[in-house]
């Protein structure tokens, strides 16, 4: 395991080059030495030039090459384009997949403890029942039982959705007692491993007012039986009524588990803004990413907020 930080440049049509530079600039000299970027060298050079960013870039062939505090090392991934901020979809998709595959390979070989991937448009990898980077990396790690966990982390609290990038109409069909148990066991075990403490967990119901705990509700048939089983080894409470939980009650817990993506991500993002990171738990290594998208509306305008990527880098830098 080497003491370096691997960053995947991500979607070429994005604010990624801007936040990479801003977070690199804000970091300490000691952390700068650790950063290695997987990206297309010419793309980063051209985007930096358009953004009027002045920084030395160096293409490297080995992760063990030395870096100085004023140079950003890049492992080159092939990419053909005409406009550096408007790369076509097919080329972008191939580029993103190659970048993620290399990061997976290096992390699987324990050359890194994991990697950070900058934002990626999900449409670039949305195929073969794969809906996002979380699912793609889980498949690369040969995890087929949905045990991977997407956790949005802030030092105040974190959130985890049981289902991730699926349509609302499919949420109830996918939720099961077994899925809830598997996800929360993965969450509990990995949280203890990373943060060195047993988390206090709260789980939300699916329906408004927990469907008044009617006998045919998901709360009674799936969530409550899962909670009863988990209580044997996990510090968990619930199901909580979701509509008022984020007023104040959430402050008592380390992690809040919701049934679907927006149920927990909307309040989390409103409370934490950009001061959060996305951590995938249950893989062979750690994979994290900024808690925001590609921000196409501000590409090239020098308006991007680097806070979330900066948090990602510092997270890896401070791991014991």
pLDDT at 64: 82
Judge contact between 114 and 286, C-beta under 8 A. Answer: yes
pLDDT in tens, 103-119: 999 999 999 999 999 99
Among 90-94, 147-151, 174-178, whose mean pLDDT is lowest? 147-151
pLDDT in tens, 217-237: 999 999 999 999 999 999 999
pLDDT at 320: 66
Pair of tokens at residue 119: 């934002």
Query: Rounded mean pLDDT of the chain?
Result: 92
The pLDDT of 86-108, averaged and rounded, is 95
Which secondary-structure segment (H or E) carries 152?
strand 149-153
pLDDT band at 62 (very low <50, low <70, confident <90, very high): confident
DSSP secondary-structure letter at 254? S
pLDDT in tens, 134-151: 888 888 898 866 778 999
DSSP secondary-structure letter at 244? H
Other residues' Cβ atoms within 10 Å of the Cβ of residue 235: 14
Return the closest-CA partner of residue 140 out of 114, 178, 101: 101
Return the closest-CA partner of residue 274 out of 253, 295, 299, 259: 295
pLDDT band at 133 (very low <50, low <70, confident <90, very high): confident
Among 92-96, 99-103, 280-284, whose mean pLDDT is lowest? 280-284
Judge contact between 125 and 132, C-beta under 8 A. Answer: yes
Q: Across the strands, what pairs with 76? A: 39
Judge contact between 223 and 205, C-beta under 8 A. Answer: yes
pLDDT at 130: 63
Q: Over 80: is that where the pLDDT of 288 sits?
A: yes
Domains of the chain from N-terminus onward = 1-143+283-320 (3.40.718.10), 147-280 (3.40.718.10)
Query: CA–CA separation, 166 vs 110, rounded Å?
Result: 32
* Pairing state between β 286-290 and 277-281: antiparallel
Judge contact between 146 and 182, C-beta under 8 A. Answer: yes
pLDDT at 135: 81
Read off the pTM: 0.89
The pLDDT of 296-319, averaged and rounded, is 92
Pair of tokens at residue 137: 């990396």
Q: Across the strands, what pairs with 56? A: 71
Of these ranges, 24-28, 221-225, 275-279, the one predicted with the greatest mean pLDDT is 221-225
């Amino acid at each position: 395991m080497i003491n370096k930080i691997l960053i995947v440049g991500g979607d070429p049509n994005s604010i990624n080059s801007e936040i990479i530079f801003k977070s690199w600039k804000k970091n300490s000299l000691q952390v700068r030495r650790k950063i290695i970027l997987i990206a297309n060298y010419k793309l980063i050079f051209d985007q930096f030039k358009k953004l009027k960013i002045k920084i030395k870039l160096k293409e490297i062939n080995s992760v063990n090459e030395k870096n100085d505090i004023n140079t950003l090392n890049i492992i080159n991934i092939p990419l053909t384009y005409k406009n550096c901020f408007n790369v076509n979809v097919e080329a972008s998709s191939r580029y993103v997949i190659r970048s993620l595959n290399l990061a997976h390979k290096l992390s699987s070989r324990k050359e890194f403890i994991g990697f950070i991937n900058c934002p990626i448009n999900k449409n670039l990898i949305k195929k073969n029942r794969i809906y996002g980077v979380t699912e793609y990396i889980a498949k690369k790690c040969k995890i087929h039982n949905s045990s991977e966990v997407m956790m949005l982390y802030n030092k105040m609290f974190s959130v985890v959705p049981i289902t991730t990038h699926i349509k609302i109409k499919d949420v109830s069909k996918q939720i099961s007692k077994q899925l809830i148990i598997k996800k929360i066991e993965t969450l509990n075990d990995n949280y203890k491993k990373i943060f060195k403490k047993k988390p206090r967990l709260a789980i939300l119901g699916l329906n408004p007012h927990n469907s008044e705990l009617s006998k045919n509700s998901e709360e009674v048939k799936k969530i409550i039986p899962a909670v009863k089983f988990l209580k044997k080894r996990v510090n968990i409470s619930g199901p909580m009524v979701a509509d008022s939980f984020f007023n104040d009650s959430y402050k008592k817990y380390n992690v809040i588990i919701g049934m679907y993506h927006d149920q927990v991500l909307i309040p989390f993002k409103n409370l934490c803004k950009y001061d959060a990171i996305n951590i995938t738990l249950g893989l062979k290594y750690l994979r994290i990413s900024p808690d925001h998208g590609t921000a196409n509306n501000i590409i090239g305008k020098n308006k991007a907020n680097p806070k979330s990527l900066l948090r990602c880098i510092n997270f890896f830098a401070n791991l014991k």
